Amino acid sequence: MYKRIIKISIVLLCFLILIYGGIVQEQKLRENNPVTGNSENDSDISADGTEAVVEVEEAPFVFEYNPDMRVVIRNSNFAGIYHDNVLITSESDCELLSPEGEVLGEYKKGKTLDFEEFGMIEGEALVLKQTGEGRFSIDSLTRAQGVPFYRGNLEIYKEKEGYVIVNEVPMEEYLLSVVPSEMPSTYPKHALAAQAICARSYAYSYLANPGYEKYNAHMDDSTSYQVYNNIDERESTSEAVVSTAGVVLLENDRPVPVYFFSTSCGYTSNENVWRTKHLEDEVFKPVTVAEAVESSTVQASILKADAMMDEAVFEEFITGVDENSLEADEKWYRWSYTGTMDADVLLEELRTIYNSRPEIVLSKYKDKYISMRPGKFNSVLNMEIVSRLPGGVADELLIETDGGTFLVKTEYYIRMLLSDENSYVICHDGSKVKASALLPSAYICLDNIKDEDGNVTRIDIKGGGFGHGVGMSQNGARQAALLGWSWEEILTFFYGNLELKKVSP
C-alpha cells in the first residue's frame, strides 16, 4: 500500500507542475506583468471595500522567429530535476564558460567532462558551448533512445540536492527532438506536420510564462510540459518541423498551450477537465470526432458533444462501436477493465489527494458537500459517475461508504482512484495491458461488483480513448491524414476557434 501511495504522490507532483505552468503562472503574469498578462479585466478593491474593475488593454504579443528555448533536463526516468552527477561529451570542440561569458576551459571533441571534478559549490553555474558543428551527449543520463544527444548549449547548476541541467536551444532545433518524442515517426506526414505546429504553439506559450523561473527556463522535458529528446531525431519528423517552420496556432493573436492527447473515444472535451479555468476562459471547444467521416450507425441525436453529458446517452455510446468512426481501428478506441476496490487503499488515496488539492475531494456534511479531510471508513457501498463534461468525460465521482459520502472532481483524479495498478485493461484489439497509475481515460461508465454483504469489492468499467481528451487526438490526426486530409484541415477540425499564423524571420 505504501508503494502505491508513493506512486500517487509522484503522479500528483507531476500534475501540480502542469497546473503551476497554467494557473500560478497566469496569476503571476496578471499581478506582475500587465503587459503580457492575459486578463482583459483586472480587479481591485476601492477604499469603501467594494470591488472596482479596472480596464487593462492588452499589448499585442511580439513574436520572434526561432527564439531560444530553455529546457530543464530531468534525470533518468524523468523522476526529478536533480542529477547526482553529470558526465558530458561533445561531438565537436567546446568551451567551458562562466555565466558572464569568461572562458574557463577549452576541450577537444570526444573529451568527456565529469562535473564532479570541477569542484562546483552550491549556487555556482557553468556553461558548455560548442565551438563547431555538433551536439553534446549527456552520458550520465538514460532515455528511451539510450544516451541522449542535445543541440545548443548546456548550463549546469550546482544545488544542495544535486546538479540541474538546462539546455538552451533554438526553437526550431528544439522541435526536432520534440515531435518524434510525442508522435511516432512512422505516422503520415500531414499528421506529423500538425503535431509539429501543436508543439511549436505550446512552446511559444511558455516564452513569457517560464515554468522554472529560478533557472530562467521555460519548460522541462517531461510530460509535465511536452516530451523532449526521449526519442532521437528522425528524418520524417524533422521534415515536418522544417516544412511548417514558424507556423503557430493563436487565440486573438496570442499563443496558447495547445493540448493534444493519444486517442479519442469519438469526442473531445474542453480544459475544464482540469478545473483550472473559468468557463468564460475556455480556449478548446469540444469536438465530435464522429463527424469527421460519414457515419450511418451513430444516431444524429447523440452526435453533439453536449448530448454526451447525459448518463444514459453516453453509456449507450461508449458500450457500442461505430465501425465508421474515424478511430474505430485504433487500439484504445474502446477498452474494458475490471479492477479491485480496497477500502483502506481508497481512504489513503483520498487523503493524499485532499492534502494536495483540498477543493477536489469533498465530504458530505448534512445536505452539502464541503472541503474536509475524509473520515475513516471500512467498506465502500457504492461508486458512480454523477457529472460529465461535454464529450462525456467523467467530471465527478460519488463514493458512498460506511463512514461517509465523498465527491471527487476532475478526470485526472477519477482515473487515479479507479485504477488498482494490478489488473489488466482489455483493449479494442483484444490485447491486454496492465493498469498503470491512471486509467487510460475518464470517458467511462462503471458498474459496482459487490460481495454478499453489499460491499463493493470490484468495479467493472467500459471506456474509450486514451488521455485527457482535450485538443487534438493524435491517432485521430493519423487516421485523418490517411484519408487524405492536409495538416491545415486536421488543425482546423480539432482547433476550429484558433487561427493559423506564420511567424517570419
User: Using the 8-state DSSP alphabet, how is residue 60 labeled?
Assistant: P
pLDDT per residue as tens digits for the range 77-125:
999 999 999 999 999 999 999 999 999 999 999 999 999 999 999 999 9
What's residue 4's pLDDT? Answer: 56
What's residue 60's pLDDT? Answer: 66
From the list 493, 438, 480, 437, the residue with the least C-alpha distance to 463 is 438
Neighbour-count burial for 234-251, b at 16+ CB within 10 Å, e otherwise:
bebbbbbbeebbbbbbbb
What's residue 21's pLDDT? Answer: 44
Helices and strands in the chain, H and E counts: 10, 28
From the list 295, 281, 75, the residue with the least C-alpha distance to 164 is 75
| Domain coordinates in residue numbering, the chain | 2-55, 68-251, 277-468
Residue 451 is inside which H or E element, if any?
A: none
From the list 246, 249, 250, the residue with the least C-alpha distance to 503 is 246
Backbone phi, then psi, for 356, in 5-degree steps? -90, -40
pTM for the full predicted model: 0.84
Pairing outcome for strands 219-220 and 68-73: parallel
Pairing outcome for strands 472-473 and 260-261: parallel
Q: Is 155 exposed, middle or buried (0-12, 13-18, 19+ CB in 10 A)?
A: buried
Q: Is 44 exposed, middle or buried (0-12, 13-18, 19+ CB in 10 A)?
A: exposed
Q: N- to C-terminal Cα distance for the chain?
A: 55
Per-residue pLDDT 10s for the chain (505 aa) are: 544 555 555 545 554 444 444 433 333 322 333 222 222 233 333 333 333 333 434 556 778 999 999 999 999 999 999 999 999 999 999 999 999 999 999 999 999 999 999 999 999 999 999 998 899 999 999 999 999 999 999 999 999 999 999 999 999 999 999 999 999 999 999 999 999 999 999 999 999 889 999 999 999 999 999 999 999 999 999 999 999 999 999 998 888 899 999 999 999 999 999 987 554 567 888 998 877 775 434 444 446 899 999 999 999 999 998 887 899 999 999 999 999 999 999 999 999 999 999 999 999 999 999 999 999 999 999 999 999 999 999 999 999 999 999 999 999 999 999 999 999 999 999 999 999 999 999 999 999 999 999 999 999 999 999 999 999 999 999 999 999 999 999 999 999 889 999 998 8
Q: In the beta sheet, which residues pair with residue 219?
A: 71
What's residue 9's pLDDT? Answer: 55
| Rounded Cα distance, 388 and 275, in Å | 13
What's residue 180's pLDDT? Answer: 98
Asked if residues 435 and 425 have their Cβ atoms less than 8 Å apart, the reply is yes
For 171-285, strand residue ranges (E) read: 219-220, 247-251, 254-255, 260-261
Radius of gyration of the chain (CA): 24
What's residue 304's pLDDT? Answer: 84
- 3-state SS of 299-355 is CHHHCCHHHHHCHHHHHHHHCCCCCCCCCCCCCCCCEEEEEECCHHHHHHHHHHHHH
Asked if residues 309 and 396 have their Cβ atoms less than 8 Å apart, the reply is no
Q: Which three cell numbers stand for residue 342?
A: 480496497
**Grid cell 507531476 in the structure block, residue:** 14
What's residue 321's pLDDT? Answer: 85
| Rounded Cα distance, 338 and 466, in Å | 17
